[in-house]
C-alpha cells in the first residue's frame, strides 16, 4: 500500500520558486538574510543609547510602523488597492525592525521604552508623524522619510563598533534601501496613471471637432452664409448718415454769397 507523500513543512505558505511574493507580503520588502544571535550581547548602556533615535525617534522604527499602518487603513478604494498592499508589506518589515532594536536595547541593559534619552526624555508621540490624505502625498512623504531613515542608520553605524549590533543594523539598512526602491516604483506608477487620466480628459475635447459629419459640416457652412447675407441686407437698409458741415464754414459762406448776387 502506497503511503501519501508528505508535504515539506518548510515550503508551506511560501510563494512558488522563482515567483515574486504578493505585494502585501513582508518578504517582498526585506532581504530575508539571517540576523545574528542577540543573546551574545553584554550590557553596554552607552551602546544602547546610540540605538534610541532609530528605535523611538521621530524618524525611528515606531514612527515608520505607525505611518504605514495608518496609510494601509486609509487606502480603501479599488484604485488604491495596490498601494495599500505595498504599505502593509513595508509595515510588517518596519515592525520587525522595531522589535529587533528593542531586543538589542534590552539585552544591552537599558529599558526599551519608546523615548529618546537626554536631559529630558523625549517620548514618542502620535503627532510626530504626518497624516497626508491623498495617495500621491503619502508616497512622496514616505519616500522622503525612508531616505532620512537610510541616512540615520548610516550615521549610527559610524558610531557602532560591536560586531553583532553592527551586523543587525546593516541588515536593517538593506531593508530600508529596498523600501526606497519600492516607493520610487510606486511613485512612477502613480504619476503615469495621473498622466493617462489627463490624456483621457483632453481626448474627448479634441475628438469633438473630428467627429463632425459631412452633413453637419455643410449645414454649419450654410448657416454661416445665411448669417452673412442677413447682415449685408441690414446694412443696406440703414439710412445714410448726414455729412457733417466742414469745420471751417467755407461752404456755408459761399452759398450765402450766391444768394446775395441773385437778389442784386
Could you list the residues known to form a binding site for Mn(2+), using ranges. Answer: 61, 94, 97
Note whether residue 233 is domain-resident: no
Compute the average pLDDT of residues 55-71.
Answer: 98
Asked if residue 115 belongs to a domain, the reply is yes
Q: Is residue 173 part of a domain?
A: yes
In a domain, 204, yes or no: no
Count of beta carbons in the 10 Å neighbourhood of residue 112: 20
Locate the DSSP E strands across 45-145: 115-116, 122-123
Per-residue pLDDT averaged across 30-44, rounded? 97
Domain that holds residue 157: 41-197
- pLDDT, residue 10, reads 34
Query: For residue 123, what is the domain's CATH number?
Result: 1.20.1260.10
Q: Burial of 55 by CB count in 10 Å (0-12 exposed, 13-18 middle, 19+ buried)?
A: buried
Alpha-carbon gap, residue 74 to 21, rounded angstroms: 23
Residue 52 has pLDDT above 50, yes or no: yes
In a domain, 163, yes or no: yes
pLDDT at 3 over 50: no
119 is a domain residue: yes
Buried b (16+ CB within 10 A) or exposed e, 128-153: bbeebeebeebbebbbebbbebbebb
The predicted pLDDT at position 211 comes to: 57
Residue 153 lies in a domain: yes
In a domain, 51, yes or no: yes
pTM to 2 decimals? 0.69
Q: Per the structure, how many domains does the chain have?
A: 1
pLDDT, one tens digit per residue, over 15-31 is 444 557 787 888 899 99
Binding residues, by number, are 61, 94, 97
Higher per-residue confidence, 58 vs 13: 58
Amino acid at each position: 500500500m502506497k503511503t501519501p507523500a508528505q508535504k515539506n513543512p518548510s515550503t508551506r505558505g511560501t510563494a512558488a520558486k522563482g515567483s515574486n511574493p504578493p505585494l502585501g507580503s513582508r518578504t517582498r520588502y526585506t532581504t530575508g538574510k539571517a540576523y545574528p544571535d542577540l543573546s551574545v550581547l553584554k550590557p553596554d548602556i552607552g551602546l544602547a543609547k546610540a540605538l534610541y533615535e532609530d528605535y523611538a525617534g521621530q524618524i525611528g522604527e515606531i514612527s515608520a510602523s505607525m505611518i504605514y499602518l495608518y496609510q494601509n487603513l486609509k487606502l480603501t478604494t479599488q484604485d488604491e488597492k495596490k498601494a495599500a498592499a505595498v504599505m502593509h508589506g513595508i509595515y510588517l518589515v518596519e515592525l520587525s525592525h522595531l522589535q529587533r532594536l528593542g531586543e538589542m536595547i534590552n539585552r544591552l541593559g537599558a529599558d526599551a521604552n519608546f523615548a529618546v534619552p537626554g536631559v529630558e526624555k523625549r517620548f514618542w508621540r502620535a503627532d510626530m508623524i504626518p497624516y497626508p490624505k491623498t495617495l500621491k502625498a503619502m508616497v512622496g512623504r514616505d519616500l522622503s522619510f525612508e531616505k532620512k531613515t537610510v541616512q540615520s542608520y548610516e550615521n549610527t553605524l559610524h558610531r557602532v563598533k560591536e560586531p553583532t549590533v553592527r551586523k543587525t543594523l546593516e541588515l536593517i539598512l538593506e531593508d530600508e534601501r529596498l523600501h526606497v526602491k519600492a516607493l520610487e516604483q510606486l511613485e512612477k506608477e502613480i504619476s503615469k496613471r495621473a498622466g493617462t487620466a489627463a490624456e483621457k480628459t483632453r481626448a474627448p475635447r479634441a475628438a469633438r471637432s473630428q467627429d463632425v459629419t459631412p452633413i453637419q459640416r455643410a449645414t454649419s457652412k450654410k448657416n454661416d452664409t445665411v448669417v452673412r447675407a442677413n447682415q449685408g441686407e441690414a446694412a443696406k437698409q440703414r439710412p445714410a448718415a448726414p455729412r457733417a458741415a466742414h469745420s471751417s464754414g467755407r461752404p456755408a459762406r459761399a452759398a450765402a454769397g450766391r444768394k446775395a448776387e441773385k437778389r442784386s
